[in-house]
Amino acid sequence: MLENLAPQPADALLALIKLHNADPRDSKIDLGVGVYRTAQGGTPVFKAIKAAEARLLDTQISKAYLGPEGDMGFVHALIPYVFGTDFDRSTVEGMQAPGGTGAVRLAVEVAKRSGIKRLWMGTPSWPNHAQIVAAVGVELKTFAHMTADGFADLDALKAALASAEPGDAVLLHGCCHNPTGVDYTPAQWDEIAPLLVERNVLPILDLAYQGLGDGMDEDAYGLRKVLSVVPEALVAYSCDKNFGLYRDRVGAFYAVTSDATALTNAMANGATIARASWSMPPDHGAAAVRLILEDVELTAQWLAELDDMRDRMRSVRDRLAAAQQVGTINMAPLGVQNGLFSMLPLNGEQIMAIRERHGVYMAGSGRINIAGLTDGNIDQFIAALGDVAG
């Protein structure tokens, strides 16, 4: 039977890591993989996480099963950070998921079980979104996320909503859009939220980078605005970037509705899906996050570390934007974009040329990881960009 299996395309970003590792040049620059890097180029464990892990080691007395919903202390401790401190707790419930990926999967599966047949999404998007939607068996409809000059294309979203049917779903990135870094502004969210109500569509809000853009509350503006007006929504959340937990797979899936029975059933369906997929989410990272959020000092330490990350990315963006015009590329939008990623308008040939001539590794889409740039390599990067985009 197994001979019937078709080969699968290699993951482009993993292939890029291999190419980067094999490049002997000391001056090579890795802008590919989507993890935060310090000014020294590392991705260290947060100090707050280390402290929480030490505490966990000392105090955890059992590793017995928790259940498909995982650590509910973790799930609930996150609620004020995501939804705001004055959010009506009776209208939200959640469960732990293996990373934001598991949370997106649960959201799309639960949407499908509730009768959703079509899902609208701006493109380009995180490539796994389309894969998950296809794997669940929901029809994907796309619209442009970004204008040619590097800003959010609100008209495209409005046109998509105008042709959406009541009962369709719309997937929106909460902040720090992957791969473009282009977020809707607060004023645009103010326009989007009532349209979601008017069109009677189910919002699925994916918040994978809270705190990496403008701040914890600022980055939740869109999500909170939408939730202040829509009757129901699903949320996929990741702690893998804002707690630096990547491989520990820490995420949460939330449903929001004032219909108590619907809320119970959303969770019951989520639990059934989890049971048949991964049974229970991995505990360690979520337990560490819970310990941080239960402790005032650790929380302050975590938020300070997150501030440092955000400040560093903002200063890299400021440096890039200050270059103004590099060859054919207008650098100004990079300064107002958010989070780990931006997309440069380079064609395939230029992306190959910057790799071969200058050792700069970026995704084939032109996506760059802002945190791959440091004081030590940013001028070299801008010069390389000028060479290939001249």
Listed ranges 95-103, 211-219, 277-285, 324-332: which one lies at the site for ligand PMP (CB under 6 A): 95-103
Count interface residues toward ligand PMP (CB under 6 A).
Answer: 13
Q: Tell me the residue number closest to ligand PMP, measured at CB.
A: 99
Specify whether 28 is catalytic. Answer: no
As measured in angstroms, the least distance from the Cβ of 232 to ligand PMP is 21
Tell me the per-residue interface mask from 12 to 51 with ligand PMP, x by CB under 6 A, - otherwise. Answer: ----------------------x-----------------
Q: Restricting to residues 50-89, which ones interact with ligand PMP according to CB under 6 A?
A: none
Q: Restricting to residues 201-220, which ones interact with ligand PMP according to CB under 6 A?
A: 206, 208
Specify whether 126 is catalytic. Answer: yes
As measured in angstroms, the least distance from the Cβ of 126 to ligand PMP is 4
Question: Which of 52, 107, 126, 302 is flagged as catalytic?
Answer: 126
- Name which position in 251, 281, 285, 333 contacts ligand PMP (CB under 6 A): 251
Helix axes 221-229, 72-83, angle to 10 degrees: 90
As measured in angstroms, the least distance from the Cβ of 46 to ligand PMP is 15
Of 91 and 128, CB closest to ligand PMP: 128
Q: Exposure of 336 by Cβ count < 10 A (0-12 exposed, 13-18 middle, 19+ buried)?
A: middle
Is 178 among the residues that bind ligand PMP (CB under 6 A)?
yes
As measured in angstroms, the least distance from the Cβ of 55 to ligand PMP is 23
As measured in angstroms, the least distance from the Cβ of 285 to ligand PMP is 10
Specify whether 117 is catalytic. Answer: no
As measured in angstroms, the least distance from the Cβ of 174 to ligand PMP is 9
Question: Which of 103, 152, 241, 286 is flagged as catalytic?
Answer: 241
Helix axes 99-113, 127-136, angle to 10 degrees: 40
- Name which position in 46, 81, 126, 361 contacts ligand PMP (CB under 6 A): 126
Catalytic positions are 126, 206, 208, 241
Instruction: List residues near ligand PMP by CB under 6 A.
Output: 34, 99-101, 104, 126, 173, 178, 206, 208, 238, 240, 251
